């Protein structure tokens, strides 16, 4: 089997104890399969990225002994590839321009008697879909672009290597989702699908908070004629308040002065035994432990 894995951090803050779990798990899975491990800097959402953080993350991974098999890929340099994919979807009649603001979407949902849940993603009601066949050039430059979820079956079944069988009806759960925003940034969903395919990723190993995106990504892979990788979503490290530890809730950067301590706490989340030797020896022991956990799973 030709195993290629990846770790795909967004440079919105340095690696913290939670993101190190995903980095370590994806590295261990690649090594346990005798495969390759790649790093991709997901800097498509440019307004949220912090200059210089990409290099900090690359250095943190090095300090933790998580060496990649190739130079990192920066998504900010790949807009032409995302645009090509978008144009392919437009040509297939699967993408359309949308000028709705969040307020417009809320208004439309109220008009349709649909409940508005606070602080959640709005399910796009398809307002601009009807006019999508007559768009003009000015619409293309100033609008967001969305994927039609009503043309092909949007009920996606997939298997997660840890969570087991999963399913989501993308049309019901999220509706026509954004491929490119009105500010010109490509969406995470489009960029991740294009790059996982371009890099030949066979196995996506990432945090469980991202599991909910998988059905959208599979739908896009099918629309673009791309292979679907295997998926494994890792347990999350929870903060004192029981919520996922994240940059948004103030997680501290890992202390690379003591990489073994940082790695030990990430390993504990993955159910791996603590190690007291040096970093390379600890990583080697975890590769063996990880391989045996996977074979009994």
Decide: is 97 part of the binding site for ligand GLU (CB under 6 A).
Answer: no
Which residue, 94 or 205, is less far from ligand GLU as judged by CB? 205
Does residue 275 bind ligand GLU (CB under 6 A)? no
Tell me the residue ranges of DSSP E strands in 99-228. 144-147, 155-160, 164-169, 178-180, 203-207
What CA–CA distance (Å, rounded) separates 9 from 24? 12
| Residues counted in the chain | 297
Q: Find the part of the chain contacting ligand GLU (CB under 6 A) among 2-10, 111-119, 135-143, 265-273.
A: 2-10
192 counts as binding ligand GLU under rule CB under 6 A? yes
CB of 174 to ligand GLU, least distance (A): 16
Residue whose CB is less far from ligand GLU, 192 or 263: 192
> What mask of x and - would describe binding to ligand GLU in positions 141 to 180, judged by CB under 6 A?
----------------------------------------
Q: Which is nearer to ligand GLU, 204 or 267 (CB)?
A: 204
Burial class (CB in 10 A: 0-12, 13-18, 19+), 35: middle
Site for ligand GLU in 205-224 (CB under 6 A): 206, 210
Tell which one of 42, 43, 176, 203 touches ligand GLU (CB under 6 A).
42
Q: Is 129 in the site for ligand GLU (CB under 6 A)?
A: no
| Cβ neighbours of 158 (radius 10 Å) | 17
Q: Is 197 in the site for ligand GLU (CB under 6 A)?
A: no
Contact call for residue 10 and ligand GLU (CB under 6 A): yes
Helix (H) or strand (E) holding 37: strand 36-41
Is 8 near ligand GLU (CB under 6 A)?
yes
Point out which residues bind ligand GLU (CB under 6 A). 8-10, 42, 192, 206, 210
């Amino acid at each position: 089997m030709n195993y290629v894995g990846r770790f795909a951090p967004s440079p919105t803050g340095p690696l913290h104890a939670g993101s190190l779990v995903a980095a370590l798990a994806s590295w261990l899975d690649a090594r346990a399969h005798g495969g390759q491990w790649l790093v991709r800097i997901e800097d498509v959402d440019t307004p949220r990225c912090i200059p210089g953080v990409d290099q900090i993350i690359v250095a943190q991974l090095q300090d933790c002994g998580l060496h990649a098999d190739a130079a990192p890929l920066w998504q900010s340099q790949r807009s032409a590839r995302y645009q090509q994919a978008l144009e392919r979807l437009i040509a297939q009649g699967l993408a359309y321009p949308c000028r709705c603001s969040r307020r417009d979407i809320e208004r439309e949902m109220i008009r349709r008697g649909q409940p508005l849940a606070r602080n959640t993603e709005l399910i796009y009601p398809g307002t601009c879909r009807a006019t999508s066949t007559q768009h003009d050039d000015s619409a293309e430059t100033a609008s967001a672009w969305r994927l039609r979820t009503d043309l092909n079956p949007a009920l996606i079944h997939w298997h997660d290597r840890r969570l087991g069988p999963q399913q989501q009806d993308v049309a019901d759960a999220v509706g026509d989702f954004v491929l490119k925003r009105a500010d010109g940034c490509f969406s995470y969903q489009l960029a991740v699908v294009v790059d996982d395919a371009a890099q030949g990723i066979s196995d996506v190993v990432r945090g469980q908070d991202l599991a909910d995106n998988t059905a959208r990504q599979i739908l896009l892979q099918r629309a673009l004629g791309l292979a679907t990788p295997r998926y494994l979503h890792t347990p999350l490290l929870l903060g004192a308040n029981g919520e996922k530890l994240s940059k948004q809730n103030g997680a501290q950067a890992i202390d690379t002065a003591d990489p073994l301590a940082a790695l030990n706490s990430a390993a504990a989340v993955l159910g791996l035994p603590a190690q007291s030797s040096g970093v390379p020896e600890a990583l080697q022991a975890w590769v063996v432990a990880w391989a045996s956990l996977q074979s009994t799973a």
